[in-house]
Amino acid sequence: MRGALMDYYLKILLVICAAHELAGGTLKSTRDAVYKKYLSLRSLPFEDCGSLYQVSYLDIESCTTLPCSMARNATIKVTVRFDDNGNGVSFLKHEVRWVFNYIKTQAAITPDPCDGDHGCIESASDGKAYWANIFVNETLPVMKGSMLWESKDANDQNLICFQVPVVITV
């Protein structure tokens, strides 16, 4: 059902593009706008918690609905696309925490930091994309909570911040 709905929205966006071009818009700006909208429709829903840069897409491996089910002892790939406003971001230090009943526990992330040495950050047509792996520690409680993800630059400025509901399973 979700795929059919995506296709429906994509067709609507293409009609909007055609109308925009007829009204004098450029093909590149229209195409970029449609692509960004398409990414946002495919993104896993998340709560922004003060990002400097706009996050356009979030993917958490094997998570299609919220809360994301994460098994203990699993390593899960997280992919984020964001618009760095042309600033050439090439370094991200991650601070990721599990939050259960207002108690925060540090999460293990690799690679950290994400820089040119690890191939985890790359330029994309609409900004930047990065990936990192999060380890779901075996000592985490089996319960609902959230994953709070912050990505900072070399000066410790918070560039990206999002929170996603999770449930830890055995």
Residues 117-162: tens digit of each pLDDT: 888 998 877 789 999 999 999 999 999 999 999 999 999 999 999 9
pTM of the model: 0.78
CATH number of 46-168: 2.60.40.770
What confidence category does residue 42 fall into, taking pLDDT thresholds of 50, 70 and 90?
confident
- The ranges assigned to domains in the chain are 1-42, 46-168
Q: What is the pLDDT of residue 87?
A: 86
What confidence category does residue 3 fall into, taking pLDDT thresholds of 50, 70 and 90?
low
* Contacts for 98 with CB less than 8 Å, ≥ 6 apart: 104, 105, 107, 140, 145, 146, 147, 148, 166, 168
